[in-house]
Amino acid sequence: MKPYLIAALFLSLLPGPPGHAVAAESVQLTDVIKSNGNGDIDLFKDTSATNLEQLRLDNGGDLVFAVDVNEAAEGSEKASCQGITVASATLLFTLDGIDYQYTVFATQTRTLVATQGSTNRLPYYTLIGDAGSNRITTGPTSDLVTVFDATLRFAVDRDISSATQARLVVELLDTHAALGDPEAFYDYSNGFEDVAILTAVDAAYLDALAPGTTEAPLLLPAETFFTGGGNGRAYYPSSTGHYLAAYEDLFPYRGDYDFNDLVVAYRVYTDLDQGGNITAIGAEGYLVARGSDYSHDWHLRIGLPAAVTGSGSISVFDPGNTTLPGYPVAINLLGDLDIAPFEDTRNLWSDIDPDTGIEYFVNTDWRRPLLRGHRFTLHVTLDNPLALSALESPPFDPYLYVRNTGYEIHRQDKAPVLAGSRNQQDGLTGFSDANGYPFAQVFPQDWRLPSEYNDLGKAYPEYLDFIFSGRNTNTDWHKRPADNWTRPVHSGHWKW
């Protein structure tokens, strides 16, 4: 061996400089979940306590495992969509001679299934994937994400760098497959499932990719709460969060494009029976801001099959929590649910200075104090249960009817629905201009709205790149506002 090669080899064996941290790495594990549905996986066959602690810190206090779902392509399971159900999962560590167990886990998906010999469906976490191994990735992700499918996550609340034992024990659910789907889809029926442990980057990649989930049966919303007997309530976007719908009301002209002409927060829920079918639909919402001289009717439309019927009511409250005159109003449902809780918004909600009598836009002018807006609540009970898959995908269709112009304004993937609107008369079926600028958008509830007369591209510097790329790049532009040109109207101001 040449001298310089000997020197290079010697140097490669030396430890790094003091304080130099070795990056955590994703690792495929030797042990697997066996064909009998059980897996007892010794993590130390493939990794160390030090790497496990690095992975825990990298994932913000979690340990995240990936599973390669390997099921027979028969029935509703196929190469593009396969699933299994997790009955239980436990992480076990030994630290300083003391055994610790973590039995609380989560996956990205859930369903309602009956166990073998039972017809009573209960909620369980699932793992869904596909049989493909030809994903092409770029960036910092490892090669493992090209073959693994779904993640299994544990919150671990202690330093495990000195662990002398580390095991993952998994038991898959023996579902009552003879019932058909969803039980037949979410059974385990083939060979073993490989397991890996992931960095935060790899975990985020798989969670965002969510292979196979678009075709999986009875896939419950991410946040669904259950009571006894399997009955549940699913929230969109969550039990504590809301969507923010914002509009530019000069459609079909772009105008000042400050996207604060009306801003409404709303949340939808569905009640579910033991079979995962919808028995009722409800919603609530708040007026957040009104930066327009025009007046509007704000609608929430939820697409349903034409034969769906039901009954319920809607109530609207002023900021003092007093029910408005004429409410509650009865709802007799037939087909789509389309309500207009906030009508004639300029007359409904205003900011008038008591000393000068001057009317200001509400919550968009930085010189004015923030005001609470009106609130609505809705609940409709269906006459017959409806399959969850028949519900329109969230965030549904929150749309605006502009009284001054006669135009309705929807999100860009929706169509006009009001028979007497100018859209129908003028043959305008889309809601983006020639350059791709939309007139209605839905954001997370922490979105900062542009302050008055500030163009959305000024308030959010990455927005133009997003539009001109055909919405392919800078897709999270709404997370990085220019603070000087936006106004934070946090949920603490409007939610009551």
For residue 134, the model assigns a pLDDT of 65
333 and 463 share one domain: yes
Does residue 6 belong to any structural domain of this protein?
Answer: no
> What backbone torsions phi and psi does residue 429 show, to the nearest 5 degrees?
-105, -10
Four-residue CA torsion sign, 291, 293, 294, 297: positive
207 and 350 share one domain: no
- Asked if 49 and 211 count as a contact pair (C-beta separation under 8 A), the reply is no
**DSSP labels for 47-67?**
--HHHHHHHHHHTTSEEEEEE
- Asked if 449 and 486 count as a contact pair (C-beta separation under 8 A), the reply is yes
Question: Which are the contacts of 180, defined by CB distance < 8 A and separation ≥ 6?
Answer: none
Question: Which are the contacts of 270, defined by CB distance < 8 A and separation ≥ 6?
Answer: 221, 233, 234, 236, 278, 280, 281, 282, 388, 391
- Asked if 361 and 452 count as a contact pair (C-beta separation under 8 A), the reply is yes
> Checking DSSP bridges between strand 98-102 and strand 82-95, what pairing results, if any?
antiparallel
The CB density around residue 468, as the number of other CB atoms within 10 Å, is 13
Q: Which two tokens stand for residue 2?
A: 């040449």
Does residue 253 belong to any structural domain of this protein?
Answer: yes
List strand residue ranges (DSSP E) for 24-172, in order: 27-28, 38-42, 62-68, 82-95, 98-102, 105-107, 109-113, 122-129, 150-155, 165-172
Q: Which two tokens stand for residue 465?
A: 């790149």
Four-residue CA torsion sign, 81, 84, 86, 89: negative
Does residue 271 belong to any structural domain of this protein?
Answer: yes
185 and 304 share one domain: no
- Collapse the DSSP code of 6 into the 3-class scheme (helix H, G, I; strand E, B; otherwise coil) and give the result: helix
358 and 426 share one domain: yes
Does residue 18 belong to any structural domain of this protein?
Answer: no
Q: Which helix (H) or strand (E) holds 398?
A: strand 397-402
136 and 255 share one domain: no
213 and 301 share one domain: no
Q: Which helix (H) or strand (E) holds 377?
A: strand 375-387
Last residue of a domain, one of 184, 218, 252: 218
Distance (Å, whole) CA 168 – CA 40: 6
Q: Count of domains in the chain? A: 2
212 and 232 share one domain: no
The CB density around residue 421, as the number of other CB atoms within 10 Å, is 18
> What's the DSSP call for residue 335?
S
Per-residue pLDDT of the chain (496 residues; tens, 9 = 90+): 333 333 333 333 344 444 445 678 999 999 999 999 999 999 999 999 999 999 999 999 999 999 999 887 777 788 889 999 999 999 999 999 999 999 999 999 999 999 999 988 889 999 999 987 667 776 788 989 999 999 999 999 999 999 999 999 999 999 999 999 999 999 998 779 999 999 999 999 999 999 999 889 999 988 898 877 678 999 999 999 999 999 999 999 999 999 999 999 999 999 999 888 999 999 999 999 999 999 999 999 999 999 999 999 999 999 999 999 999 999 999 999 999 999 999 999 999 999 999 999 999 998 899 999 999 999 999 999 999 989 999 999 999 999 999 999 999 999 999 999 999 999 999 999 999 999 999 999 999 999 999 999 999 999 999 999 999 899 999 999 998 999 999 999 999 9
Candidates 65, 174, 199, 180; CA nearest to 124 is 174
335 and 464 share one domain: yes
161 and 252 share one domain: no
Does residue 313 belong to any structural domain of this protein?
Answer: yes
Does residue 5 belong to any structural domain of this protein?
Answer: no
Q: How many CA atoms lie within 13 A of 32 on its CB side?
A: 11
Candidates 411, 487, 410; CA nearest to 453 is 487
Q: Which two tokens stand for residue 302?
A: 């939820």
| Structural domain for 49, as ranges | 23-218
Does residue 2 belong to any structural domain of this protein?
Answer: no
140 and 273 share one domain: no
Distance (Å, whole) CA 461 – CA 475: 12
Q: Which helix (H) or strand (E) holds 464?
A: helix 463-468
Four-residue CA torsion sign, 193, 197, 203, 205: negative
Residue for token pair 């609530």: 284
The CB density around residue 23, as the number of other CB atoms within 10 Å, is 9
Last residue of a domain, one of 186, 218, 250: 218
For residue 21, the model assigns a pLDDT of 52
Last residue of a domain, one of 172, 200, 218: 218
pLDDT in tens, 364-376: 998 899 999 999 9
pLDDT in tens, 300-353: 999 999 999 999 999 999 999 999 999 999 999 999 999 999 999 999 999 999
- Asked if 207 and 229 count as a contact pair (C-beta separation under 8 A), the reply is no
The model's pTM is: 0.81
- Asked if 245 and 238 count as a contact pair (C-beta separation under 8 A), the reply is no
- Asked if 365 and 255 count as a contact pair (C-beta separation under 8 A), the reply is no
- Asked if 9 and 185 count as a contact pair (C-beta separation under 8 A), the reply is no
168 and 72 share one domain: yes
Does residue 411 belong to any structural domain of this protein?
Answer: yes
Q: How far is CA 248 from the centre of its chain?
A: 25
Residue for token pair 């409410």: 327
173 and 302 share one domain: no
